[in-house]
Copies of this chain bind each other. A is one copy, B any other.
Amino acid sequence: MPVVGMAGGGQLARMTQQAAIALGVSLRVLAATPNDAAAKVVSGVRVGDDRSLDDLLAFGQGCDVVTFDHEHVPGAHIRKLESTGVPCRPGPAALAHAQDKLVMRERLSGMGVPCPAYAPVPRAEPLKTLEDFAADHGLPLVVKAVRGGYDGKGVWVLDALDEAAGDMIRDLLSKDVDLMVEEHVAFTRELAALVARSPYGQGAAYPIVETVQEGGICTEVIAPAPGLPKDVAAEAQRLALTIAGELGVVGLLAVELFETDRGLIVNELAMRPHNSGHWTIEGARTSQFEQHLRAVLDLPLGSTEPTAAYTVMANVLGGDDPDVYARYIHVMAHDPAVKVHMYAKESRPGRKIGHVTALGDDLDDVRERARHAAAYLRWGTRMKEREGRR
């Protein structure tokens, strides 16, 4: 049976292990510490730095294919690993578009994919660029780190180009953070398209979902996106499959989209299992984690058929009291059908430490079940008090 190596030991690698167990495939992970979410549940753990060439090359030996649970492995290192005969999927050329937002915008715009207006922020006279951009596209502006952001980190919404904004921009640039600016898109809601593509060229698209964000962090995913017109859903799937094909993605591609009055606009790309696809563990015939493994192993892709009318995933964020397990009793007794997924990560306030999934025919009921379970796991009996305060 083949050996799949995954660089990164987070919850995505952790959940990939569940799929690897079913397929009989060996999963190895390169984790920063033995306490990483995936390191705790995989027998083939190599502790190391996945940004270090030496560690990556050592990890790749004995793997039939290497894939990634995040975007942070340098492309040059991946090319070097490939040169030793270990296929990396997605490959470095495709992955560049998930690692570098400017590369992504340039490529997608060149393909005619609708994107927000954008511009690089130069080190010389950055504020001049922002002012010109604001003159064309209005305020607020969205400033993004070109590389390395996630979960709202690396994204700053500027309501004014005042002194504080100027200080922040100069401070970031002085720390060698490359920046770009984008127009603030007036969207009605956020959607995500998840597709898989195999080296053979087979593609598979999941139903389009709605993602609900709070403070830049996804809190809830509704599958399928309620009330989304069929033609818009088909267009979103077509966009994602086209991007996957044009960029030569192998594995999963998640495309975060804005639904707007002027149509769909692409926000971000990820080339790995994605938070917006956790609902597929119970809600689709093939989970995104199994699908990613099938794709990187060049196996035929699995059915993306939903298993229920509605599936809702709610992220569990860390609360004040880290003893989440003590709160299982209420959650499981209250709703014997809700599915709990915890990542065995240290609980810190606001950190994604797990998720819950509910499914059924009645969307309001399903949402309420998922929200209740996630909020209770975070706050316990102080949930209502907290909810009231928001």
- Whether B1 pairs with A300 at a CB distance below 8 angstroms is no
Docked complex Cα distance between A344 and B4 (Å): 14
Main secondary structure of the interface of A (DSSP, over half): mixed
A63 is an interface residue with CB less than 8 A from chain B: no
- Whether B43 pairs with A286 at a CB distance below 8 angstroms is no
Which residue of chain B lies nearest to A341 when distances are taken between CB atoms in the complex? Answer: B22
**Residue A17 contacts which of B41, B341, B354 (CB distance < 8 angstroms)?**
B41
- Whether B299 pairs with A328 at a CB distance below 8 angstroms is yes
**Residue A300 contacts which of B18, B43, B333 (CB distance < 8 angstroms)?**
B333
- Whether A303 pairs with B336 at a CB distance below 8 angstroms is yes
A42 is an interface residue with CB less than 8 A from chain B: yes
Which residue of chain B lies nearest to A332 when distances are taken between CB atoms in the complex? Answer: B300
- Residues of A358-379 contacting chain B, CB below 8 A: none
**Residue A344 contacts which of B1, B18, B42, B300 (CB distance < 8 angstroms)?**
B1
Q: How far is the CB of A374 from chain B (nearest CB, A)?
A: 14
A184 is an interface residue with CB less than 8 A from chain B: no
Docked complex Cα distance between A41 and B39 (Å): 11
Give the oligomeric copy count. 2
Per-position 1/0 for A322-337, Cβ under 8 A of B: 0011001100110011
With contacts A39-B43, A300-B336, A332-B294 taken as known, whether A21 is within 8 angstroms of B24 at the C-beta atoms is no
**Which B residues are in CB contact (< 8 Å) with A339?**
22, 285
Docked complex Cα distance between A339 and B19 (Å): 11
Docked complex Cα distance between A206 and B35 (Å): 36
**Which B residues are in CB contact (< 8 Å) with A1?**
325, 342, 344
A20 is an interface residue with CB less than 8 A from chain B: yes
Q: How far is the CB of A319 from chain B (nearest CB, A)?
A: 15
- Whether B43 pairs with A285 at a CB distance below 8 angstroms is no
A307 is an interface residue with CB less than 8 A from chain B: yes
**Which B residues are in CB contact (< 8 Å) with A333?**
300
A26 is an interface residue with CB less than 8 A from chain B: yes
Which residue of chain B lies nearest to A294 when distances are taken between CB atoms in the complex? Answer: B332
A51 is an interface residue with CB less than 8 A from chain B: no
Docked complex Cα distance between A176 and B17 (Å): 44
Q: How far is the CB of A335 from chain B (nearest CB, A)?
A: 8
- Whether A21 pairs with B17 at a CB distance below 8 angstroms is yes
Which residue of chain B lies nearest to A328 when distances are taken between CB atoms in the complex? Answer: B299
Q: How far is the CB of A358 from chain B (nearest CB, A)?
A: 10
A349 is an interface residue with CB less than 8 A from chain B: no
- Whether A26 pairs with B43 at a CB distance below 8 angstroms is no
A14 is an interface residue with CB less than 8 A from chain B: yes
With contacts A2-B325, A21-B17, A24-B343 taken as known, whether A336 is within 8 angstroms of B40 at the C-beta atoms is no
A320 is an interface residue with CB less than 8 A from chain B: no
A73 is an interface residue with CB less than 8 A from chain B: no
Which residue of chain B lies nearest to A298 when distances are taken between CB atoms in the complex? Answer: B329
A45 is an interface residue with CB less than 8 A from chain B: yes
With contacts A1-B342, A299-B329, A337-B303 taken as known, whether A354 is within 8 angstroms of B24 at the C-beta atoms is yes
**Chain A contacts to B: CB under 8 angstroms:** 1-2, 14-15, 17-18, 20-24, 26-27, 39-43, 45, 204, 281, 285-286, 294, 299-303, 305, 307, 324-325, 328-329, 332-333, 336-337, 339-344, 354
Q: List 14 other contacts, CB 8 Å, given A26-B344, A303-B337.
A: A14-B21, A17-B21, A18-B18, A18-B22, A21-B41, A22-B342, A23-B342, A24-B354, A26-B40, A39-B43, A43-B43, A285-B337, A300-B336, A302-B332
Q: 5 tightest CB-CB pairs across the interface, nearest first?
A: A24-B342, A303-B337, A300-B333, A300-B332, A303-B336
5 A-B pairs (CB sep. < 8 Å): A1-B342, A21-B41, A24-B324, A43-B45, A286-B337
